[in-house]
Amino acid sequence: MSESINEMQQRYEELKGQAVLHEGAEALIADLFAEIERLQASNLTLRRTILKSSSSKESRMSTKLRDALYE
């Protein structure tokens, strides 16, 4: 996903060089790119957390199943 963000940033830089943008528009676009990067990092952190919690639940469930089978 970061590749697509990098491509968008490159396209933005190319377009910015070809056309004159209002300072407010440039600031808004820069803020949007910063927010995208922040959300991407947050998304990655959440995915890792979910993966860790789901793998620990699976191991507990398999232990419960194993214990039930041994009874």
Report the pLDDT value the prediction gives residue 61, as an integer from 0 to 100: 60
Over 70: is that where the pLDDT of 36 sits?
Answer: yes
For the chain, the structural domain boundaries read 2-70
More confident: 50 or 1: 50
pLDDT of residue 14: 87
pLDDT score at 40: 93
DSSP string over 7-69? HHHHHHHHHHHHS---HHHHHHHHHHHHHHHHHHHHHHHHHHHHHHHHHHHHHHHHHHHHHHH
The stretch 42-47 carries a mean pLDDT of: 93
Task: Please give the model's pTM, rounded to 2 decimal places.
Answer: 0.64
